[in-house]
Structures are given as structure tokens and as C-alpha cells.
Amino acid sequence: MSGTSGNLLATDAVIRCPHGGRATPAHTPSAAVLIGGRAVATAAASYIVTGCTHTVGGVPRPCVSVRFTAAAGGVTAAGAPVLLDTSAAQCLTAAFVPQGPPVVQAAQRKATAR
């Protein structure tokens, strides 16, 4: 894995923006690889953020998406790099302004392939 280490992320992993909003996949993922019976998260998925209450100078500037960058040359599932709890990511506003990395909770290691 090119020196990259971390735990695999399932698509239902708890991912939050730095301001408490919840990030979830924008579409139903492929189940080519499962983690504890749940689909593995890949860099091909788009993540949307809901519930971010971030403001700047009293003006709402909520996070609306998370963009993950998977390590080059790493493990893939259905042709897309899998995401780890250590994968680089950035929460973004609707104007694509970076607002900090997401907070990722509890990832699993055990994976099965179909």
C-alpha cells in the first residue's frame, strides 16, 4: 500500500465535519468489497454534509461536501481506491472553500471480497 496505513472505512462510517455536520455518501455504493457486511468506502463516492452550523462573522458558511484523496497505488475496490481512516480529506463549502479535515470515527479492519 505504498507506506500508507490505517483502517478501512465502510460507507456507513461516522464522518463529521469539524463543526459537527454529518457526512454521508451521496449515492448507494457498490458492494464489491464488504467490511463486516457493509460496503467499503472508495474515493469514487461523493460525500454530502448536512447539519453544519459553521458561521464566519455571523454569516453562515456551512460545510456541504467532503472530498477524499486516496493514496496512489493503494488497494482498490471495483476500480476505485479504498478509503482509510487516515485518507487525506477536506470539508468544503458550496463555493469549494476548504474548512478543515473531517473527523472519522471507528473504522474496521476485517474485509471480505465478493
pLDDT tens track for 18-66: 999 999 988 866 677 888 888 888 888 889 999 999 999 999 999 999 9
Distance separating the N- and C-terminal Cα atoms of the chain: 21
Residue whose C-alpha cell is 472508495: 42
| The pLDDT value given to residue 30 | 64
Please state, in angstroms and rounded to a whole number, the distance separating the CA atoms of residues 50 and 90: 15
Please state, in angstroms and rounded to a whole number, the distance separating the CA atoms of residues 1 and 70: 11
Q: Check whether 99 has a pLDDT greater than 90.
A: yes
Q: Check whether 7 has a pLDDT greater than 60.
A: yes
| The pLDDT value given to residue 4 | 60
Residue 90: count other Cβ atoms within 10 Å of its Cβ.
17
* Most confident option among 37-46, 68-77, 104-113: 37-46
Cβ-Cβ contacts under 8 Å for 14 (sequence gap 6 or more): 22, 104, 105, 106
| The pLDDT value given to residue 1 | 40
Please state, in angstroms and rounded to a whole number, the distance separating the CA atoms of residues 73 and 101: 22
Average pLDDT of the chain to the nearest whole number:
84
Task: Report residue 110 CA to chain centroid gap.
Answer: 18
| The pLDDT value given to residue 51 | 98
DSSP 68: E
